[in-house]
Structure 1
């Protein structure tokens, strides 16, 4: 079962079927896909299939996809996911935020909650995140929530027929528990 996590502005909860059309609209924006690992175009069928896969992934403890809901409006604004590698006791942080909600601090708030969940509830040793090198806002976000730059995977992915570099950010449990939050 996916717990609900809250900040002053946000509720992070499990996705519901009703979220599919909005997820399709937000994640389907080319500007969102441009700097993330989302397929484009992103169809309603893709959103529905992705959401329907969640209960099994959560039950197996493999993936925790949180819907980021703006309090007061009860609106989906994005996703913050933790993919758990049980063999190596680490988690991959992945997210997207709808373009209309960029630069409001929502990704920072949500990332901090999910990092806390990963270290405190899942007892992970490491949380890492891949960020497309051209996505300077995501790189800044990762550093703001305590992840440090570890290196660049040169021409790691192909997006729209172009090779793209991917920066890797990470945080160890010992550093997480030894640091003061900057958020």
Structure 2
């Protein structure tokens, strides 16, 4: 089954394709994007985007991860990514990044709202959880805007094996 396309007022959430790799490398490879996440490497080396994109179809088919390209409706300009990963029969974890030129425009909130609605209505999940680096409060604002509630804080190892403060959020399907 093909991964469904999701649309919002300004955005189209679609599957990534190999042609997106150079834009992914440019956007995700920005130091300011990388430092706001636990997992995006910096520098973002050649071939990493292609490898990442190549995993998406199998993950969707196994229903363990759902990854969308966030694009501007009408132009198909790629501006970021949003995913639901660690999916099981009742829950999943929300993750996202937006390219720095597109920060502060509400795109992440819009995309996250659409993915949560899809997760509850079509995937029948009971709970979505998410986390953000304490050093990235803008991500926490997105989580609050989409109805998530803060449930705690913890320490996690980042990609450099350093302890990082993490804020935990969740939303339940009611």
Q: Fold match, TM over 0.5?
A: yes
Residues 41, 159 of structure 2: 8 Å contact kept: no
Equivalent in the alignment of 2:168 = 168
Distance in 2 (CA, whole Å) between partners of 1:90 and 1:40 is 30
Question: How far does the alpha carbon of each residue in 1:59-89 deviate from its partner, in whole angstroms, 9 at most, with x for none?
Answer: 00111100000123221000010114315x1
Q: Give the direction of change, closer, same or farther, for the CA distance of 1:62–1:160 in structure 2 (3 Å limit).
A: closer
SS of residue paired to 2:80? strand
So what's the TM-score if we normalise by structure 2?
0.94
Unpaired runs of at least 5, structure 2 = none
The answer on 1:10 being equivalent to 2:2 is no
SS of residue paired to 1:44? coil
Distance in 1 (CA, whole Å) between partners of 2:128 and 2:117 is 10
Equivalent in the alignment of 1:33 = 34
So what's the TM-score if we normalise by structure 1?
0.90
Residues 131, 168 of structure 2: 8 Å contact kept: yes
Residues 111, 145 of structure 1: 8 Å contact kept: yes
Equivalent in the alignment of 2:22 = 21
SS of residue paired to 2:110? helix
State the 1:158 CA deviation.
3.2
Unpaired runs of at least 5, structure 1 = 175-183
Q: How does 1:1-183 map to 2 (within 5 A)?
A: 1-37=2-38, 38-86=40-88, 89-154=90-155, 156-158=156-158, 160=160, 162-174=162-174
Count matched residues.
Answer: 172
Backbone CA RMSD of aligned residues: 1.3
State the 1:172 CA deviation.
1.0
Select the structure that is richer in helix: 1
